[in-house]
Structure 1
Amino acid sequence: MSSVKQIQVTFDCAKPERVARFWCEVLGYVVPPPPEGFATWDDYNRTLPPEQRDSGFVCMDPSGVGPRLYFQRVPEGKVVKNRLHLDVRVGTGLKGEERLAVLEAECARLVALGAVRVRLLAADGENESCLVMQDIEGNEFCLD
């Protein structure tokens, strides 16, 4: 049996660079350097055939621990709820009002970046509170 070495999370979207840069801000990720021989990603992009320009963008954890995120342009828009979503773990180990305060503060930061707050899922005795949100193209994620 083979062992998994790394994973990449891929997002379908309309504007890959815009969505990637949003997630860089959310997670503290960075855009990797452009391919060798190119000063910028724009320089590289201009060498592609017109139909491939702006078709994908990457961001990655600068520490190398988190998964690489890939954003690919697709022609169709988002129609239904995601079958998979990210949990952005900002309240790990916190409970009650302290947890809610941390979630609300991060929510405010992300709303300023273009995210949308959807709803609060209140603690229920089994699970702690979390906030359901959407990124700048409507992909759901949770502040957990």
Structure 2
Amino acid sequence: MESAMQFQVTFDCVEPERVARFWCEVLRYVVPPPPEGFATWDDFDRALPPERQGSAFACVDPAGIGPRLFFQRVPEGKVVKNRLHLDVRVGAGLVGEERIAALEAECARLVALGGVRVRLLTADGYDESCLVMQDIEGNEFCLD
């Protein structure tokens, strides 16, 4: 049996480092060490041609289990709803009011970091409750 393919999740954004650092906080990810020969990511960035400076940033799961997140600068802003989004699993295994309380607590933490609460979708007999949010550049994600 072949092993699963590794993958990364790439975000188009205006400010890669700012968005990456937000997601580090959301997922408890970390910024990986800079490339060999550079003491810091700022040193690496300054070594790039001016048009490439600040154009990308990444964060990783410190346990090495989750996918790498890569953030790349694009000239256009977000225009329409995402076709793909992340579900941050903060309420897994919880139901009813206990689940909503966990979603609301995490929402409050993320709003303090610059995230935006969009709406709570309550359980409907088929799907359990989730909370729709946006990151600091308007990319939708769910607290699930």
Structures share a fold, TM > 0.5? yes
- Which runs of at least 4 in structure 1 moved beyond 6 Å after TM superposition? none
Q: Which runs of 5+ in 2 are unaligned?
A: none
Q: Which runs of 5+ in 1 are unaligned?
A: none
**Offset at 1:126?**
0.6
- Equivalent AA in structure 2 for residue 40 of structure 1: T
Partners of 2:5 and 2:96 in 1: CA distance: 37
**Offset at 1:49?**
0.3
Name 1:83's counterpart in structure 2. Answer: 83
RMSD: 1.1
1:137 and 2:125 matched: no
Partners of 2:3 and 2:29 in 1: CA distance: 25
- Equivalent AA in structure 1 for residue 38 of structure 2: F
Name 2:128's counterpart in structure 1. Answer: 128
**Offset at 1:2?**
6.9
Deviations 1:48-86 (A, max 9, x none): 000100000000000011000000000000000000000
Name 2:71's counterpart in structure 1. Answer: 71
Partners of 1:40 and 1:69 in 2: CA distance: 19
Name 1:44's counterpart in structure 2. Answer: 44
Partners of 1:55 and 1:25 in 2: CA distance: 20
Partners of 2:3 and 2:63 in 1: CA distance: 21
Deviations 1:65-109 (A, max 9, x none): 100000000000000000000000000000000000000000000
Deviations 1:105-137 (A, max 9, x none): 000000000000000111000110000000000
Name 1:119's counterpart in structure 2. Answer: 119
**Offset at 1:4?**
3.9
How many aligned residue pairs are there? 144
Q: Percent identity?
A: 81
**Offset at 1:5?**
2.6
Partners of 1:57 and 1:51 in 2: CA distance: 15
Q: TM-score, normalised by structure 1?
A: 0.98
